[in-house]
Amino acid sequence: MALDHETLNLLLEAVRRFVDERLIPAEHEVAETGEIPPAIVQEMRELGLFGLSIAPEYGGLGLNMEEEVLVAMALGHTSPAFRSLAGTNIGIGSQSIVMAGSDEQRNHYLPKLASGEIIGSFALTEPEAGSDAMSLRTSAKKDGDHYILNGTKRFITNAPVAGLFSVMARTSPERKSDAISCFLVEAGTPGLTLGKPDKKMGQAGALTCDVIFDNCRVPASALLGGQEGTGFRTAMRVLDKGRLHISALSVGTAQRLIADAVRYAAERKQFGKPIAEFQLIQAMIADSQAEAYAARCMVMDAARKRDRGENTTLEASCCKLYATEMVGRVADRAVQIHGGAGYVSEYAVERFYRDVRLFRLYEGTTQIQQLVIARETMKAHGY
């Protein structure tokens, strides 16, 4: 159920104020240390950011898709690291349980995820299985009333701080969707170990690492929904929703970059006047604004269709492709407008230029979105 207009506006205003007053001032510290201050994490919990998409009966805010993307846009105005910490609880770390978990699994885990007591993590990607998720090798073999998990997951968001992993594993050898199941594995389970945190191009403070399963023994009750063979289909449904969220985040980040570029152009003088008066600078600002507006319209339209119960696989991929490519172009123009200053870390555009590059890779690369869009479009035309 959607929030009433007044409640939604109050929430958005609270998030925007939190971004402006607490998160933006902490961006440089997070970039330098690679850690989000504990006080800010606690404030994120109190604001309800970990439970945006989890139903109120489990302690969340229960936002619909349109409301969630509006919050994601607001969070996009600051470093992606802050959103990333809560993002798995909002999306890929919780939605498999929301969509396919048993009542017992929902009652046990969702309140902890909604409150931020534990961080969820979605373990799908492997060294030999990224875009080709069907090729994953992590195995789960039945052993009485337990399963034995073996394999390695790679680039797993929030794994270093996660309390719960949604693990995609093969329960039969065939290359088909119903050969893959999902298991809810708690941190600290014997046989589960973590690699060293990855050193990345950008997004300092957004942690990723390998997750290794070596004869990791979990009870049969860890099987999502108590049913084998539903993991792959659930993962694809989770990613459809996540792609809209990342698209909205890209829009918010583009809006931040445009604001920074306009501010700099108004202050920086060359040839005796602000560079904002030069038409070639104005052209870069105009192109950025038009593209950000187009992406926002796409995201809002797709979110509303999803809230009406329509299948939005096509629209989600269109949004993910366009919005993430768009923010890359906007970031590039923002650096160009800043000139040499845009290449040094004193200005946020240097950091954002590196940060947004990841948006085109995770939750399905641009090339995977092209394949999905082509497939769904041809299907819609009878092919």
Nearest to 133 by CA among 153, 113, 116: 153
Can 21 be counted among the known catalytic residues?
no
Give alpha helix (H) positions in the chain.
Answer: 5-18, 24-33, 38-47, 65-75, 80-90, 95-100, 103-115, 231-267, 279-307, 313-338, 348-355, 366-380
The one-letter amino acid at 215: N
CA angle (151 as vertex; 146, 152 as ends), nearest 5: 135
Please answer whether residues 116 and 50 qualify as being in contact, where contact means their C-beta atoms are separated by less than 8 angstroms. Answer: yes
- Tell me which H or E stretch contains 278: none
Q: Is 228 left (phi over 0), alpha (psi -120 to 50) or beta?
A: beta
Widest distance between CA atoms in the chain: 79
Q: Report the C-alpha gap between 356 and 363 in whole angstroms.
A: 13
List % helix, strand, coil for the chain (3-state, nearest 5).
60, 15, 25
Q: Report the C-alpha gap between 126 and 144 in whole angstroms.
A: 27
Strand 180-186 versus strand 269-270 pairing type: unpaired
Nearest to 203 by CA among 242, 253, 244, 269: 253
Please answer whether residues 376 and 370 qualify as being in contact, where contact means their C-beta atoms are separated by less than 8 angstroms. Answer: no
Among candidate residues 67, 128, 363, 376, the one labeled active-site is 363
Cβ atoms within 10 Å, residue 367: 12
The owner of tokens 């240097």 is: 350
Q: Show which residues are catalytic.
A: 363
